Amino acid sequence: MKKILFVLATVTICIIMSVCCFAADVTLAGDGSAGNPYVISDRQGFDYFAQNYTEFSGKYVSLECDIMLNSKDCFELDQNGNVTGVVGTPSAWIPIGTASEPFSAYFNGNGNTIFGLYCDANTAGLFGYVRNAKISDLRVYTSYIKATSLGGILCASADGATQITDVVTSGFVTKNNTNTMATRLSGLVAVLYEDAKVTDSCAYATVVMPEVYVSYTGGLVADNMGTITGCGFDGNVVATTSQIAYAGGIAAHSTGSVSRCYATGSVSATSMGTQKETHLGGIVGAQENASITKCESDVALSVTNDTVSDSLSVIGGIAGYSQNSAVSNCKATRTILSDATY
């Protein structure tokens, strides 16, 4: 009886949280300049900012408080407090920024935390599409992300001259049930484009890719075309593919640069069917015309193939597959386990 009452109470809390997410017409203090940014001082102000983000393009925004999107009771947690699932009906977050109207402001979190993010969408994250923006000094903890094509706890896509600095995330990232040909999932940013940068940031996450035709599963970034510097990942990356899988502690696939980064935890993949390829690396699963410099991996790597005929697995402590690319001043430890052919 006590267990039933607990579940009912949890569901009630989650429902209450969900009806409190609509922002009234509010006015934020400040004028949006660098010296006098718009100030978010409560949940109502944050909701207003999220729902009217295009009004803040090119402006400076300062978060001055912690924000709770869902209570802790809305999530399943393991013995270490890591998110493994959801309970009841959490308030579903709509990512800030679309492909046609990306987020383009300068957002300073001032070390504050956004807690309890739950997002189930085609492109999922706190932010969706980000372009020519700055996001800094922010914590996004106890998150649960389900995406169809692009999913990252902070954002799905970052392009233009976007700079992401001193952001820390934690949570669980996975794919929803909608079948797709290719999916990119990560603990921070799903896709980082050419001129975008991630600096001094970290993800504590479990990133799980169910079976998909082509999968990009990264601890920090799924598909890196930009610059990643001074970042870290601590957690588990799990990929399943019927054709091609890229998986890595920092990035699944990279045509950009990765430097002064570390990864710890595990990266594993399971390949289903025949004529498949798996690329696993402690730092990067596969890199092409790219570089990895001064990085350290303490990641357990493993590959399992349901059949070994017509299969190819490329595994490396730093990088799995590397073409026209450089790896320098790096260190890798831990064990590589595989039943695959090379």
Other Cβ atoms within 10 Å of 14 Cβ, number: 22
d(CA 112, CA 251): 26
Q: How confident is the model at residue 304 (pLDDT cuts 50, 70, 90)?
A: confident
Contact 100, 123 (CB under 8 A): no
**Statement: residue 9 has pLDDT above 50:** no
Task: Look at residue 20 in the predicted model and tell me its pLDDT.
Answer: 41
Range in 43-52, 185-194, 330-339 with the lowest mean pLDDT: 330-339
User: pLDDT, tens digit, for every residue of 179-214?
Assistant: 677 899 999 999 999 999 999 999 999 999 987 888
Task: Look at residue 212 in the predicted model and tell me its pLDDT.
Answer: 82
Other Cβ atoms within 10 Å of 193 Cβ, number: 19
Identify the three-state secondary structure at position 106: strand
| pLDDT, average across residues 99-109 | 98
d(CA 259, CA 328): 10
Residues written for the chain: 342
User: pLDDT, tens digit, for every residue of 59-76?
Assistant: 999 999 999 999 999 999
Task: Look at residue 47 in the predicted model and tell me its pLDDT.
Answer: 97
Going by C-alpha positions, the residue among 30, 94, 89 that lies closest to residue 62 is: 30
Contact 284, 292 (CB under 8 A): yes
Q: Please tell me which residue, 271 or 30, carries the higher pLDDT value.
A: 30
Ramachandran angles phi, psi of 43, nearest 5°: -65, -40
Q: How confident is the model at residue 243 (pLDDT cuts 50, 70, 90)?
A: confident
Task: Look at residue 222 in the predicted model and tell me its pLDDT.
Answer: 98
Q: What is the DSSP string of 8-34?
A: HHHHHHHHHHHTT----S---BS-SSS
pTM of this prediction?
A: 0.91
The H or E element that residue 197 is part of is: strand 197-199
**Statement: residue 229 has pLDDT above 70:** yes
Range in 3-7, 143-147, 312-316 with the lowest mean pLDDT: 3-7
Q: How confident is the model at residue 273 (pLDDT cuts 50, 70, 90)?
A: low
**Statement: residue 7 has pLDDT above 90:** no
Q: Please tell me which residue, 100 or 269, carries the higher pLDDT value.
A: 100
The H or E element that residue 177 is part of is: none
User: Between β-strands 202-218 and 67-68, what pairing exists: parallel, antiparallel or unpaired?
Assistant: unpaired
Identify the three-state secondary structure at position 201: coil
Contact 191, 222 (CB under 8 A): yes
d(CA 10, CA 74): 7
d(CA 122, CA 322): 30
